Amino acid sequence: MLANKTALVTGSTSGIGLGIAKALARQGANIVLNGFGDPAPAKAEIAALGAKVAYHGADMSQPDQIEAMMAFAASTFGQVDILVNNAGIQHVARVESFPVERWDAVIAINLSSAFHATRLALPAMLKSNWGRIINVASVHGLVGSAEKSAYVAAKHGVVGLTKVTALENATTGVTCNAICPGWVLTPLVQKQVDAKAEAKGISNDEATRQLLGEKEPSLQFTTPEELGELAVFFCSAAGNNVRGVAWNMDGGWAAQ
Ligand code: NAD
């Protein structure tokens, strides 16, 4: 379905980004990976699916590095047809004790990076009159949780950016939508499970049960594979007129 298309997925060396990159690779897209850590395992997983794969290590908090990454993707594969803004970090603290440096980092990586990559991807997408911009927001783009001010602010911002990008391009073949996961068991959430287990002196299994029980009625994690299939749907012909949605896959979290 996506042969001859190129997908750039930010923050795709692990977790949800890698799951989405693999789902798009299975559809035949060329993949540009990004993210910290050793990219070799992620590259090997994509190559094993028969897709062409490249990697750029841009720090998504740095606009000049995002520009270099977008130029690298264009020179490697021609152009970026599918942009998945996924890179993200978390920091947990009450507002009055939230470190200013962490606030700035969360906003830069979770929100401003999506603006920069989107503004740089749009001209080529509009020229070919086909493009898909998929923003990995969160259920925290729709509702709040205590001690996550920067994350919730950034994710609500991502949902807003999604709507405006969709509207500005509504008469073209370029769509923009957001995916809003609930809990997904990735390194980002494992850290929160570990912190809960340590703070309460409970086992990791019990901490996991409590984490899910507090917010997610299904008591199940959403998987990167399920999120990948939603991204594939947005890229399909059936997604041609899906514009500006913030689609939660959250086990009922936001329905409460
Ligand atoms: P993760 O920690 O497994 O992956 C994050 C990715 O982003 C990694 O590849 C990491 O290297 C990369 N990254 C971090 N900072 C970066 C930077 N400055 N520059 C470039 N890359 C950077 O986390 P995840 O859970 O897969 O999260 C992916 C996205 O999904 C994030 O936007 C997160 O907010 C969102 N999300 C996660 C959950 C969840 O439960 N895990 C729920 C809702 C939304």
Which ligand 1 atom sits nearest the alpha carbon of residue 62? 18
Q: How far is the CA of 141 from the centre of ligand 1 (A)?
A: 15
Domain 6-184+223-255, CATH number (from 1.10.1070.11, 1.10.1380.10, 3.40.50.720, 3.40.80.10): 3.40.50.720
User: Tens digit of pLDDT per residue, the chain (256 long)?
Assistant: 999 999 999 999 999 999 999 999 999 999 999 999 999 999 999 999 999 999 999 999 999 999 999 999 999 999 999 999 999 999 999 999 999 999 999 999 999 999 999 999 999 999 999 999 999 999 999 999 999 999 999 999 999 999 999 999 999 999 999 999 999 999 889 998 999 999 999 999 999 999 999 999 999 999 999 999 999 999 999 999 999 999 999 999 999 9
Q: How far is the CA of 204 from the centre of ligand 1 (A)?
A: 21
Mutate-to-test residue for ligand 1 from 86, 107, 161, 211, highest number of ligand atoms within 8 A of CB: 86
Domain boundaries, the chain: 6-184+223-255, 185-221
Check residue 149 and give its pLDDT.
98
In the chain, alpha helices (H): 15-26, 40-47, 63-77, 100-107, 113-128, 149-168, 187-200, 204-215, 224-235
Check residue 188 and give its pLDDT.
83
The letter for the amino acid at 223 is T
Check residue 86 and give its pLDDT.
98
Q: What angle do CA 235, 69, 58 make, to 5 degrees?
A: 110
Check residue 48 and give left, alpha or beta (phi > 0: left; psi -120 to 50: alpha).
Answer: alpha
Does pTM surpass 0.85? yes
Q: What angle do CA 26, 32, 33 make, to 5 degrees?
A: 95
- Ligand 1 pocket by C-beta < 6 Å: which residues? 11-17, 34-37, 59-61, 86-89, 109-110, 136, 138, 181, 183-184, 186-189
* Residue 151 falls in the annotated catalytic set: yes
Q: How far is the CA of 127 from the centre of ligand 1 (A)?
A: 30
Check residue 187 and give its pLDDT.
87
Check residue 11 and give left, alpha or beta (phi > 0: left; psi -120 to 50: alpha).
Answer: left
Q: How far is the CA of 216 from the centre of ligand 1 (A)?
A: 20
Q: Which of 55, 103, 151, 253 is catalytic?
A: 151
Check residue 36 and give its pLDDT.
97
Check residue 96 and give its pLDDT.
98
Mutate-to-test residue for ligand 1 from 13, 16, 34, 139, highest number of ligand atoms within 8 A of CB: 16
